[in-house]
Amino acid sequence: MLEIEGLNKTFASPSGDVVALHQIRLQVEKGQFVTFIGPSGCGKSTLLKIVAGLDTAYQGSVKLNGKAIAGPGVEKGFIFQEPRLFPWLNVERNIAANRSLRDKEVCKQVDELIELVRLKGFEKAYPRELSGGMAQRVAIARALLRRPEVLLLDEPFGALDAFTRTHMQEVLLDIWENNKTTMLFVTHDLDEAVFLGQRVVIMNPRPGHIRNVIGIDLPYPRKRSGSSFQELRSRVLSEFEKVETPAIEIGAGI
Amino acid sequence: MQGANNRWSLRALHLFVGALLPLSILAVWQYVTAAGMVNAILIPSPKSIAAEFGAMISSGELQRNLGISAWRAMLGFLLGGGLGLAAGLWVGFSIRTERLLDPSLQLLRTLPHLAVAPLFILWFGFGEMSKVLLIAKGAFFPLYVNTFLGVRSVDRNLFDVAKVLEFTRWQTITKLIIPASLPSIFLGIRLSIGISWLGLVVAELMGSSSGIGYIINDARSFSLTSVIFVGIIVFALVGKITDSIVKLLERRLLRWQNNLKGAGS
Ligand SMILES: Nc1ncnc2c1ncn2[C@@H]1O[C@H](COP(=O)(O)OP(=O)(O)O)[C@@H](O)[C@H]1O
Ligand SMILES: [Mg+2]
């Protein structure tokens, strides 16, 4: 379980301090799928980096299974907006990275993951030969090989076209149903947030804080056209309409 | 099949176009010298240069001296280039080492071969040591500078990936920094090899009793111009061949980088 309590984060800058996160409080049960949505600059990436252990300069407490997060590690997989693959390694070696493919167990798991992220036949391809969606699937497989307890995804499908994005969402749900990995998924796409998450965390900027958490009590696989989906979607949307910043991309995923 | 045929004929055409200028120069050269329009001592005819070439090969003189030169250049390159690579990695990794070492190294970099050669000879004599060190001095800097730049230009984002994947410090070096800077390192290697040949000539001209540079210098005192030409041609050929070998190696190792694999051109 992930517990965030009284989290504050301030960036010092020449033009004055920026409060990126203000009094964040959140609990995520093991295996839960939580989506975060909010306009840019509301601290979503900052929050994810802190949970990942990539940023340790904050006030408050962030605990995974009762232990304060001390630094980055494989139990907290991170998927960045860009795939960030090693351009000199082919797909299977990118997934293995610092693990050896000569190890039979690693090799077998890499094969299974390639199957899972639907990249059969591309084991030997180099990143430059892959489309954006394929590369992001390699990044996901790379994280999964380490059997993370939590997967942190920072707008992972933001750069993909709508069609690929829908496909990737289905792949991700497949993975989640198989592995029951806890998912923290940041997006600025309302439909994506409602389609994927069991809870949608709505964040606002200046200073970055959680405005509301809405439970999405719909069974998977979800239908975007269903009336209950539309109902929840408009509930989340109405939360935004109370906010003066119209910076959010509403319905970008349709 | 049609495509492959086309590619071959295109390549032959390119080769022909590229050879056009040198061939016509050679033809004019041969004609002018044969007609006695220039002093044959200053500019020997291509034919006599070729004959000299043949004679030097059959006597074994050329191979023996080329072997010695190549050996010196290789030792100097390995010594200087190896140290340059190591220093580039070291200074690249740490800002503190950079502050400590880089200013002094940059100062040394600007020293020309010809200026330090007398000092090296004074210190180490006319033996192999001074030659190899002179070559090494030249070979050091291109590899140092390019390795350093390569290390510094590694995509910062990949360091976060390495942290999340729990790379050890050693893995960060061998599996991230070195592969990422390999393109620059290769550029450094090619420049270093070029400079090694340059240093070799200076070293052998300064005082030596063997090597291609010595042959050139010796021929000069006897006005054997065709021998000088042979020496120059050998330098050019060997330089070109080593560069092609490194290029081939580079293309193999940096295959991930080539964006136009098999796309004509
Ligand atoms: N390294 C940094 N230095 C200074 N300010 C930063 C830094 N990173 C983020 N910020 C600021 O913190 C706020 C939150 O940023 P971020 O977490 O990237 O937002 P989001 O991901 O929601 O778009 C922004 O106002 C941003 O300008
Ligand atoms: Mg962000």
B156 plus B78 within the same structural domain:
yes
Q: Which helix (H) or strand (E) holds A212?
A: strand A209-215
Residues 6+ apart with CB under 8 A from B85: B143, B144, B147, B185, B188
B186-214 tens-digit pLDDT:
999 999 998 998 888 888 887 788 899 89
The boundaries of the domain holding residue B11 are 1-38
| Mutation target among B155, B156, B157, B165 for the A interface, most CBs of A within 10 A | B165
Which among A54, A89, A98 is the nearest to B167, CB-wise? Answer: A98
A88, A100 contact by CB (below 8 A): no
Contact across the interface for A97 and B175, Cβ inside 8 Å: yes
Residue B3's pLDDT band, with cuts at 50, 70 and 90, is low
B207 plus B162 within the same structural domain:
yes
What ipTM was estimated for this complex? 0.88
Q: How many CA atoms lie within 13 A of B174 on its CB side?
A: 7
B22-36 tens-digit pLDDT:
889 989 988 988 888
B6 plus B118 within the same structural domain:
no
B28 plus B62 within the same structural domain:
no
- What span, in angstroms and rounded, lies between the C-alpha atoms of B255 and A170? 33
CATH assignment at residue B195: 1.10.3720.10
N-terminal to C-terminal alpha carbon distance within chain B? 17
- At CB < 8 Å, which residues of chain A contact B? 52, 54, 71-74, 76-78, 80, 82, 84, 86-90, 97-98, 126-128, 142-143, 146
Q: What is the pLDDT of residue B94?
A: 85
Distance (Å) from CA A43 to ligand 1 centroid: 6
Q: What is the pLDDT of residue A253?
A: 43
Mean pLDDT of B167-174: 93
Q: What is the pLDDT of residue A209?
A: 92
N-terminal to C-terminal alpha carbon distance within chain A? 33
Residue B4's pLDDT band, with cuts at 50, 70 and 90, is low
Query: What is chain A's mean pLDDT, rounded?
Result: 90
Q: What is the pLDDT of residue B261?
A: 46
Mean pLDDT of B94-114: 86
- What span, in angstroms and rounded, lies between the C-alpha atoms of B35 and B28? 10
Mean pLDDT of A158-182: 90
Query: What is chain B's mean pLDDT, rounded?
Result: 88
Tally of domains in chain B: 2
B52 plus B138 within the same structural domain:
yes
Contact across the interface for A97 and B165, Cβ inside 8 Å: yes
Residue B264's pLDDT band, with cuts at 50, 70 and 90, is very low
CA distance B160 to chain A (A): 7
Mean pLDDT of A75-92: 94
Mean pLDDT of B123-130: 86
Q: Is A203 in the pocket of ligand 1 (CB under 6 A)?
A: no
Q: What is the pLDDT of residue B255?
A: 83
Q: Is A40 in the pocket of ligand 1 (CB under 6 A)?
A: yes
A218, A210 contact by CB (below 8 A): no
A67, A38 contact by CB (below 8 A): no
Contact across the interface for A84 and B158, Cβ inside 8 Å: yes
B8 plus B77 within the same structural domain:
no
B63 plus B33 within the same structural domain:
no
B65 plus B180 within the same structural domain:
yes
Residues 6+ apart with CB under 8 A from A196: A33, A35, A169, A172, A173, A183, A185, A187
B81 plus B124 within the same structural domain:
yes
Q: Which helix (H) or strand (E) holds A6?
A: strand A2-11
Q: What is the pLDDT of residue A243?
A: 60
Residue A58's pLDDT band, with cuts at 50, 70 and 90, is very high
B59 plus B167 within the same structural domain:
yes
Pocket test for ligand 1, best of A17, A42, A184 (most atoms within 8 A of CB): A42
CA distance B245 to chain A (A): 21
Residue nearest to atom 21 of ligand 1 (CA): A45
B107 plus B149 within the same structural domain:
yes
CATH topology of domain A2-83+147-244: Rossmann fold (3.40.50)
Q: Which helix (H) or strand (E) holds A22?
A: strand A18-28
| β-strand partners of A180 | none
Q: Which helix (H) or strand (E) holds A238?
A: helix A227-241
B78 plus B159 within the same structural domain:
yes
> Which ligand places an atom closest to the C-alpha of A54?
1
Q: What is the CA radius of gyration of chain A?
A: 18
